[in-house]
Amino acid sequence: MRWMGLMALIPTAGLLTVSFFVLFAVEKVHGKNLKTFGKAVAAILIIVASLIFSKGVYTLVTGDCPIMKAMCGMKGGQMSDIGSKCGDMMKSGMQGGSGTCPSTYGK
């Protein structure tokens, strides 16, 4: 699971690239309000990129991916219910079962 941390570099690089071009465009604008708005948008993009990057570093260092935990049923809630039922389906499918995931709607 540690390789999932490296995947965080893709959205981080994309967000930082977009924020660079937003800041570049802000320098060309003459309106004060539009400059302030552009700088705020760029700041938000940089903050989100840093959060994604820090989560990627956390995943790389610990090997612990919270999204995969939720999908595999380590946490409570509907996703764990779906994960456990589909996991049972996969086991039965490998043993010649029906191969369809049971529906969890209406519960």
Q: What is the DSSP string of 29-62?
A: ---HHHHHHHHHHHHHHHHHHHHHHHHHHHHHHH
pLDDT above 60 (res 33) = yes
Q: Quick: pLDDT tens for 46-103.
A: 999 999 999 888 888 887 776 776 677 654 555 555 555 555 555 554 455 444 444 4
What are the structure tokens assigned to 23, written together? 């800041």
What are the structure tokens assigned to 14, written together? 């994309």
Higher-confidence position of 92 and 105: 92
Q: Is residue 104 part of a domain?
A: no
Gap between the terminal Cα atoms of the chain? 32
Q: Is residue 105 part of a domain?
A: no
Its domain, for residue 55, covers 1-64
The phi and psi torsions of 77 (rounded to 5 degrees) equal 115, -175
What is this structure's pTM?
Answer: 0.61
Domain count within the chain: 2
Asked if residue 56 lies in contact with residue 7, where contact means CB atoms within 8 angstroms, the answer is: yes
